[in-house]
Structure 1
């Protein structure tokens, strides 16, 4: 009996340690996967916004040049000067050309390419007669290029031709510089595809120009949506990917990380957990061996309970085990301590899964879980939608690192201006939501105005002063929370339309604008 009891007790202890290890590793794996997916989604969206800004800026410069050359289209010398000016303005284009209505190049830069007199390789820009960004194609010289163009019309609306610039995908230019600036680490990487599934940018330059086959990740990116997914790519590798579309060009941005990299990080974490558990396990086994001759029925009960330390009711179950001597009391105490520590670890991991890693504010998951409880217990919930004005300029002018610091600074100011009962959330790139339980619209509008003034008056490092626009709406018991979020977004949008740096708040039956 003694051998049977000792064997059973030791087996139960090992099972407890293994179960603890399994629970912690699986929770950590879920956290790593969700963190990688969220990080890749945010990264892809940030790069897509930046790239969209670069391409839109290129189209604006070509639009201006088209107006300049429309008045002097017959003067080839002035056309050549304008082409040279566009080329030297920045490093957006590798070459610039002007064609007549028939597609013949009448001016170009640099002159060494000797393009004058040649015909435009693609007639699509001539036929469509509107500003456009082409898909990638292979030039006569064998280079993969993208052609950005804008039509030229005279004062009477007659089509004269076009002005355009080429972006060579395998040479240095502003597009390449932007992408190279945002190279990722730890196995993650970013690439760009056009709507023909051809690779426009890839850290491996050998991939440029390659047409990708069936791939769920690429399909999602070309759908012009933003999101993340765990899928197998066209090469059969399991990926954790984030994606976003570029509206100005119908291109797609994909930021992805091989699952094997996450698994390697998990293995390192699991090894650390094992090193922490093994000494405790050895000590526990020695204690069991020492006390085994005097432990009978209570040991069996404790061992059974120890197999399920991860369930919430485990503490109560172990506390209910009767003990009649010091040894069994100590064992029960040790299991209760292990249960408490494990539940705290699980709780900590769950909190990390509900926290925005950049700002420390609640994420969408935490917001939805909190709202589920509040909607059943609160009579009113005020919603303040907040958006940083012209945040894209911060990223464009100072880089995404400074942009991240700006987001953290705004989050810190929000915490200073909130109550302990309020819930502060980051729901998008520069988008935030404040939920104020048991608050009126007037009180929420006052809080929003104080927050607006605080942010506007605070000088941030590097960026200086920034402003925010806010929309305030109120949910009342029995109403639709989705409609309230939509109303807050609409009021935020109205604040931006009315000049930004202001609060627009909803009141019963009307919408009024707070003084800004």
Structure 2
């Protein structure tokens, strides 16, 4: 009868190996869950930041273009009264050119497209024919796409039609913005240069680059690019896609409505991955000492542990499950050693659940203000909608917040946002949910509220903010829109859009007021 060789492993080593494998699996699982949650949070935050960045720049570009159109409109009225006075035409063209850095050149053309006055005179444009004649046939304000001018420069041409007192079309007055030379538009975009591979660029509706942090890109026509397609067609949003060079980007985009141009703010996904690797390395360093302590403790206890060990090891593999604490507590501890291991596992389960809970809370909270973020808002609205619970939405936006950032800096702007968040919490009811959904935009959700009650809360909040003396900034105001959803009503997105439209009406009607949906 053959005798099998004696096993080289004893129970203590087998127990140690088993528990070590279980602990490693648990830590790896916890590490992976933390990694996935953190990665998704970083990506979503980056997309939100880029969208807000692009939207802010689009608004600024829109303001610059509208200002340019207003200047030309005034000039058109002036020369329309004496279009035959060549000296007046030249004087007005020179005035517009010298007024500020908006235009690199100004010209006046008759109805046939012949230039009859221009500034500066060094370009010698008088008597030449317009190359870009679309505004002549359009006979309306026009912001062109980029093209090569008579002088060979890459320009955008902004024009206003000229009519006499009887409404007869006389010609046009226009200003050119050279994309390769300093001007107001260029200065605006230069203030938004980003770092570490993140960048902002501006394209016209023909996909030609009007501004880029790399001057060599200006004037190039962008090829197949999902982000540019979205910016020119959808208006505003976010997208994770490959650019024309094959680099995966996290992009936010917005459209300049008056010109049809698109603003894109994007950063490589690799930036997020680098931050994530650094964060996870710190997590690993924090876990390592506790893991080493656990291994040494298990080694010491291995020779003295009996039956409860298998159950404890089984629970150790599932520390991240919600019922792990109850499962471990149910294991009997008949002697000190088993009680100690059970206590260590209970502590580990508690710490892990707390970490997962904190990560989930961070995913639902705006980092700057501590209010609920857009994700939390969407989640609670979906639950109320599914439960047929009536609710009111108060959409709020800070009036002229850009002036705060421009005057005092973004640090004071952030403090202002925190102050507004604190006032929202002070003026909210117990079950209300104040949220920050982006930039200076806030939303207050009021469950089981009537339209009158929501209006009262909104008015109280508006008055409280107006009366508050904010550090360095002083007094600011807000505009609010109030909408109500009842069971059987429109979708959640529809009531949010209605609240935003009412907010827009408040802005249009003078700001610092509450506009309520008709009851």
Per the alignment, residue 383 of structure 1 pairs with 393
Label 1:173 to 1:498 Cα distance change in 2 as closer, same or farther (>3 A). Answer: closer
Per the alignment, residue 264 of structure 2 pairs with 254
Aligned equivalents of 1:297, 1:225: Cα separation in 2: 65
Q: 429, 433, 449: which is aligned to 1:419?
A: 429
User: Residues 160-207 of structure 1: CA distance to partner in whole angstroms, max 9, x if unpaired?
Assistant: 111111111122111111111112234321111111111111111111
Aligned equivalents of 2:162, 2:402: Cα separation in 1: 30
Per the alignment, residue 151 of structure 1 pairs with 161
Map 1:105-144 → 2, pairs under 5 A: 105-144=115-154
Which stretch has the larger CA shift, 151-160 or 232-241? 151-160
Pair 1:290-2:300 in alignment? yes
Deviation, structure 1 residue 501: 2.6
Query: Contact 2:388 / 2:488 at 8 angstroms: preserved in 1?
Result: no
Map 1:152-301 → 2, pairs under 5 A: 152-301=162-311
User: Residues 263-314 of structure 1: CA distance to partner in whole angstroms, max 9, x if unpaired?
Assistant: 1111111111111111111111111111111224433322222223223222
Deviation, structure 1 residue 92: 1.3
Aligned equivalents of 2:501, 2:64: Cα separation in 1: 28
User: Residues 82-102 of structure 1: CA distance to partner in whole angstroms, max 9, x if unpaired?
Assistant: 112112222111111111112
Label 1:481 to 1:496 Cα distance change in 2 as closer, same or farther (>3 A). Answer: same
Per the alignment, residue 317 of structure 1 pairs with 327
For residue 427 of structure 1, give the secondary structure of its aligned residue in structure 2: strand
Aligned equivalents of 2:331, 2:37: Cα separation in 1: 28
Per the alignment, residue 478 of structure 2 pairs with 468
Which stretch has the larger CA shift, 360-369 or 394-403? 394-403
Aligned equivalents of 1:393, 1:162: Cα separation in 2: 34
Label 1:406 to 1:148 Cα distance change in 2 as closer, same or farther (>3 A). Answer: farther
Query: Contact 2:123 / 2:151 at 8 angstroms: preserved in 1?
Result: no
For residue 162 of structure 1, give the secondary structure of its aligned residue in structure 2: strand
Label 1:418 to 1:266 Cα distance change in 2 as closer, same or farther (>3 A). Answer: same
Map 1:31-110 → 2, pairs under 5 A: 31-110=41-120
Q: Which runs of 5+ in 1 are unaligned?
A: 512-516
Aligned equivalents of 2:405, 2:20: Cα separation in 1: 59
Q: How many residues matched? A: 508
Per the alignment, residue 503 of structure 1 pairs with 514
Per the alignment, residue 3 of structure 2 pairs with none
Pair 1:367-2:377 in alignment? yes
Aligned equivalents of 1:29, 1:359: Cα separation in 2: 21
Which stretch has the larger CA shift, 14-23 or 143-152? 14-23
Query: Contact 1:27 / 1:346 at 8 angstroms: preserved in 2?
Result: no
Label 1:432 to 1:315 Cα distance change in 2 as closer, same or farther (>3 A). Answer: same
**How high is the TM-score relative to the length of structure 1?**
0.91
User: Residues 197-239 of structure 1: CA distance to partner in whole angstroms, max 9, x if unpaired?
Assistant: 1111111111111111111111111114211121111110011
Which stretch has the larger CA shift, 101-110 or 197-206? 101-110
Query: Contact 1:25 / 1:270 at 8 angstroms: preserved in 2?
Result: yes
Deviation, structure 1 residue 495: 4.1
Per the alignment, residue 456 of structure 2 pairs with 446
Deviation, structure 1 residue 443: 3.1
Deviation, structure 1 residue 487: 5.0
Deviation, structure 1 residue 478: 5.3
User: Residues 49-69 of structure 1: CA distance to partner in whole angstroms, max 9, x if unpaired?
Assistant: 111111111111111111111
Pair 1:334-2:340 in alignment? no
Query: Contact 2:384 / 2:390 at 8 angstroms: preserved in 1?
Result: no
Which stretch has the larger CA shift, 94-103 or 460-469? 460-469
Aligned equivalents of 1:5, 1:400: Cα separation in 2: 58
Aligned equivalents of 1:212, 1:481: Cα separation in 2: 38
Label 1:392 to 1:59 Cα distance change in 2 as closer, same or farther (>3 A). Answer: farther
Deviation, structure 1 residue 429: 4.1
Over the aligned positions, Cα root-mean-square deviation in angstroms equals 2.5
Query: Contact 1:224 / 1:246 at 8 angstroms: preserved in 2?
Result: no
